[in-house]
Structure 1
Amino acid sequence: MSDLNDLYDLDEQGRPEPPLAAGETATLLGFLDYQRATLAWKCAGLDADGLGRTVAASPMTLGGMLKHLAYVEDHWCSRSLHGQDPQPPWDTVDWKADPDWDWHSAAEDTPEQLSTLWQDAVARSRFLVAQALADGGPEQPAKRAWADGRAPSLRWILCHLIEEYARHNGHADLLRESVDGLTGE
């Protein structure tokens, strides 16, 4: 997150505050970085037991969330936006046999592996989004269309990523509180 320190004001948890008065793209990217930093905060300092904790009947874990959101980043920014083929570890997964592989397989990974996987996916996404913005702006369509032939715009993809993080950050609040009582927004 050190590269963001120069771009944004940071809150008490070290999360970059989205700009108060900026253009559309800067605002979208600001909110996406804020959501990413919220997930990082909720997962910070946890060992394998902490990342593997569940709440109630849900099998959801913070470790699974890190791996799932790494997959989401790669799926939308590498595969959909730029039309790239899946890269490791996603390229060998039998998604039909286990559509929730990203969530389930996280239990086999160390906290360091999960953190690195997610951080690398975020770094790739930032690079690919910047490249797409330079090549055509937020209205440009993704290179990989959906089955019905429609392709989401980069704007849609950024909004979807914000929504995906915001949804899971709510889950992360509950999971982290169950580990050590850490609460937040």
Structure 2
Amino acid sequence: MGDDAVSDASAGLPYAGGEKEILRASLDRLRDAVLWKLEGLDEERLRRPMTPSGTNLLGLVKHLASVEYGWFVETFGREPEPLWFDPYSAEDMYASDDETAEQIIAFYGRARTAADRTLAELPLEAVGRPAWHEGREVSLRWVLVHMIEETARHAGHMDIARELIDGATGDWPAG
């Protein structure tokens, strides 16, 4: 793609502006790519293990929702919704038989909303303490960059899984 061409996915990104605005837009673009990876697939294909370890599209979305709650909400002393699984034992990486795609996608939406509330209300310099890091303090800036990395990593996994399922690739629908 040449310098003058802009993909659909980057059309809404600010190319100038404040640090928080640019980082938020980058995270949102990745979050939207994650959801696009699910579009048009039935429950069987969303749950289909695509690696020897069992990685599947729906499990990755459940995991991303779980970590958004952990990093953006719990770290900054806010109350996340009660989880029905144990994220510390990798239960967030898989969809159980009694969880539907609709439930997990809605869970991701609620996690995004809760994370966005934290991002809107706190400055990047705000400091929180993740419960799982024994007293280490992290800034909201660090968490935001970390979640961009985490979401990009798993969006890449999802890109490969989706290509193996039906050949669809990229971070946004073609055309």
Quote the Cα distance in structure 1 between the aligned partners of 2:131 and 2:47. Answer: 35
Deviation at 1:145, TM superposition (A): 6.2
Amino acid at match of 2:160: L
Q: Does 1:87 align with 2:77?
A: no
Partner of 1:54: 49
Instruction: Figure out how many residues of one structure are paired with residues of the other and give that number.
Output: 166
2:168 and 2:151 mapped to 1: Cα distance? 19
Cα displacement (A) at 1:29? 0.5
Give the CA deviation at 1:85. 4.5
Structure 2 residue aligned with 1:5: none
Structure 1 residues 65, 95: CA separation in 2 closer, same or farther (over 3 Å shift)? closer
Decide which moves more: 61-70 or 46-55.
Answer: 46-55
| Equivalent-residue separation in structure 2 for 1:175 and 1:145 (angstroms) | 32
Please state how far the C-alpha of 1:32 moved relative to its aligned partner.
0.5
User: Where does the alignment leave 5 or more consecutive residues of structure 2 unmatched?
Assistant: 1-5
Q: Distance in 2 between matches of 1:86 and 1:24?
A: 26
DSSP-derived class of the 1:108 partner: coil
Mapped pair 1:172 → 2:150: no
Question: 51-60 or 33-42, which moves further after superposition?
Answer: 51-60
Aligned-pair identity (%): 37
TM-score by length of 1: 0.80
Q: Which residue of 1 aligns with 2:21?
A: 26
* CA shift in 2, pair 1:180/1:146, >3 Å: closer
Normalising by structure 2, what TM-score? Answer: 0.84
- Once the two structures are TM-superposed, the CA of residue 16 in structure 1 deviates from its matched residue by 6.0
Match of 2:140 among 148, 154, 175: 154
Q: CA distance change for structure 1 residues 27 and 131 in 2, over 3 Å: closer, same or farther?
A: same
CA root-mean-square deviation: 2.2
Tell me the distance in 1 between the aligned counterparts of 2:131 and 2:103: 31
Q: CA offsets, 1:114-164, max 9 Å, x none?
A: 1111111111111121111xxxx1011015566443210000010011000
Residues 129, 135 of structure 2: 8 Å contact kept: no
Cα distance change, pair 94–174 in 1 and its aligned pair in 2 (3 A): closer
Matching residue of 1:69: 64
1:101 aligns with 2:87: no
8 Å Cα contact 1:63/1:106 also seen in 2: no
User: Which one-letter code corresponds to 2:146 in the other structure?
Assistant: H
Q: Which runs of 5+ in 1 are unaligned?
A: 1-9
Q: Which amino acid aligns with 1:179?
A: I
